[in-house]
């Protein structure tokens, strides 16, 4: 299911199993507390088996983080530039992005919290994806301000606030918590519209 979160590849090649295993382990205990033995055993391999497919533990993190960011960018961009009024699109962005952080909370945690542990060059690569996400949101807000649907004093601050709401879902969500992914969508769409001074 993590696989689905990332791209929708043919499931359970060994690489896919390793990435799923790493997502679970990194989300559970963090990058540095996770051992290559953890990853290997979760994927049903011996400790050495990891190194056939990845050069290092950090290479696993990079692959996972990159895919996660790409999935997030696709999701946000798709909703932000799709059909409908800016109001409708913001609602879709907030609903989809918040829900994604819950449904795929393992990958989402890796994306949000393990980012600082990437090697500098890998961090730079991923950073451009992050900037693309922010930009997609800012552009959508500009549209809504131009059309008169949104009442926003500072687009940059407001875009960050919208993202903060969704991103923080990855911190508090886990299966078994009171809130469910399908209720999170409408809630966060509504919160977003409030921040924009828009009528639902």
Return residues touching its own copies (CB under 8 A).
29-33, 112-113, 116-117, 153-154, 157-158, 160-161, 164-165, 167-169, 171-172, 179, 187, 190-191, 194-195, 197
Q: Which of its own copies, DNA, none lies near 164, with the C-beta cut-off 5 to 8 A by kind? A: its own copies
Name the minimum Å distance from CB 61 to its own copies. 12
Which of DNA, its own copies, none does residue 11 bind (CB under 5 to 8 Å by kind)? none
Residues 58-63: contacts with CB under 8 Å, at least 24 apart: 58/117, 58/118, 58/119, 58/122, 60/18, 60/19, 60/22, 61/22, 61/26, 61/31, 61/110, 61/114, 61/117, 61/118, 62/118, 62/119, 62/122, 62/126, 63/19
Structure tokens at 20: 């799923």
Report the C-alpha gap between 184 and 96 in whole angstroms: 9
Q: Which of its own copies, DNA, none does 36 bind, CB closer than 5 to 8 A by kind? A: DNA
**Sites of contact with DNA (CB under 7 A):** 14, 34-37, 40, 44-49, 51-53, 55-58
What phi and psi, each to the nearest 5 degrees, are found at residue 118? -70, 150
Q: Which is nearer to DNA, 4 or 44 (CB)?
A: 44
- What CA–CA distance (Å, rounded) separates 155 from 158? 5
Binding partner of 113, given DNA, its own copies, none, CB within 5-8 angstroms per partner class: its own copies
CB of 145 to its own copies, least distance (A): 15
Closest approach of its own copies to the CB of residue 107, in Å: 17
Gap between the terminal Cα atoms of the chain: 33
Toward DNA, which CB reaches closer, 37 or 131? 37
Q: Residue 4 CB, nearest distance to its own copies (Å)?
A: 25
């Amino acid at each position: 299911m993590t696989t689905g979160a990332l791209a929708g590849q043919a499931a359970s090649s060994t690489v896919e199993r390793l990435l799923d295993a790493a997502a679970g382990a990194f989300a559970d205990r963090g990058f540095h507390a996770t051992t290559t033995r953890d990853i290997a055993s979760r994927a049903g391999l011996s400790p050495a088996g990891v190194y056939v497919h990845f050069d290092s533990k950090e290479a696993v993190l990079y692959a996972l983080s990159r895919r996660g960011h790409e999935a997030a960018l696709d999701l946000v961009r798709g909703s932000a530039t799709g059909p409908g009024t800016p109001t409708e699109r913001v609602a879709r962005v907030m609903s989809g992005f918040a829900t994604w952080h819950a449904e795929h909370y393992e990958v989402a945690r890796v994306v949000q919290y393990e980012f600082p542990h990437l090697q500098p060059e890998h961090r730079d690569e991923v950073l451009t994806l992050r900037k693309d996400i922010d930009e997609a949101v800012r552009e959508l807000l500009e549209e809504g301000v131009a059309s008169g649907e949104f009442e926003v004093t500072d687009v940059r601050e407001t875009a960050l606030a919208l993202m903060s709401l969704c991103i923080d879902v990855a911190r508090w969500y886990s299966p078994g918590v009171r809130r469910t992914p399908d209720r999170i969508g409408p809630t966060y769409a509504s919160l977003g519209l409030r921040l924009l001074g828009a009528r639902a």
